[in-house]
Amino acid sequence: MSQTKSSASNVATKTALRESKVMERARAVTLIYCPIHLGGPHAGASMGPAAMKVASVVSKIQKLGFRIEREVDIPVPNALCWWEESTNQARCVPEIGEVSLAVAQAVEEALEAGTIPITLGGDHSLAIGSIAGASNYYRKKKEEFGVVWFDAHGDINTPESSHSGNVHGMPFAVSLGDGDERLTKLLGFSPKLKASRCALIGIRDLDADEIQLIAKSGIAPFTMRDVDDMGMAGIIREALVRIKSDDKNSSPLKGLHVSFDLDVIDPDVAPGVSTESRGGLTYRESHYALELLADTGLVTSIDIVELNPARDIRNQTAELAVDLVQSALGKNIL
């Protein structure tokens, strides 16, 4: 009987702690729909935000007790990008720069309004804008923030290292200050991130040059082998230690930007992505990772990217994406 009471007490304590952390965060969100497909040759990514609307993203967020403060539709210009031609330059940079500026302004405005900006894509090039907006917000406040980036790929190529010129393989590098200056200097400053405040989780499909770039970058990388060895709780714990420690002279961490590429998940679970790679996160590992981050009370902005409904099966990846948004906002089983 005493063991039962003790167990119930522990559950109640954990629940109360989680709820108190959730209450410390904003109880309103800004949804930013960014149907960008210019970062790569996969036009179906432009349908990602619409598929998440069909999967009831608004009502599911509201069920968690959050208010939808605002919904923002980012216009994406037409561009002539000849994907079949090889190039050693980044493709569609002027158009991606235009979208990135709009996303950055929307994210910064959402943070200034005390809401959590959730940017729904669309390919991962949108993170150039979302991270720029978050960075500018914290820069003005002279505060520190970190990034947890989930991806099968490094997204740290530069125009010089890329074999394709596809910008959706470059947003992490751009945010760290490496790449085309029309993107790195967005909002007038670079870099947007401190490498020591960044973790990259779930990588398994890297170009040879990317391996070297990651090694030199100073970010904390965690491969799928690391996930197998350490388990997701160990990965998130170590990632947070690395992000928070930085150096003795840095201010404490005030926020986390979570950039979640759906191709980090195994394609058996999430088939509706543009660049699938086998051997990814399981359904539960994906949710658990975001639940653990939400428990910190530090998640202040979120990207969900690379949903490609043209490759999905009965909208199951879109529904998973919306469920992951809920986990990132603090939804728990109890």
Cβ within 8 Å of residue 207, ≥6 positions away: 154, 157, 161, 162, 163
Catalytic-role residue among 37, 95, 144, 153:
153
Catalytic-role residue among 261, 285, 291, 319:
261
Residue carrying the six token digits 């210019």: 38
Tokens of residue 311, six digits: 């490759």
**Interaxial angle between packed helices 316-328 and 283-295, expressed in degrees from 0 to 180 and rounded to the nearest 10:** 20
Dihedral sign of CA atoms 56, 117, 68, 25 in order: positive
**Nearest-angstrom CA–CA distance, 81 and 43:** 11
Check if 263 is active-site: yes
Catalytic-role residue among 95, 155, 285, 312:
155
Check if 261 is active-site: yes
Check if 151 is active-site: yes
Check if 207 is active-site: no
Catalytic-role residue among 123, 306, 312, 323:
306
Catalytic-role residue among 98, 108, 151, 303:
151
Check if 163 is active-site: no
**Residue 116 near residue 106, CB atoms below 8 Å:** no
Check if 124 is active-site: yes
Catalytic-role residue among 108, 144, 210, 263:
263
Catalytic-role residue among 95, 98, 108, 168:
168
Report, as residue numbers or ranges, the catalytic residues: 124, 151, 153, 155, 168, 261, 263, 306
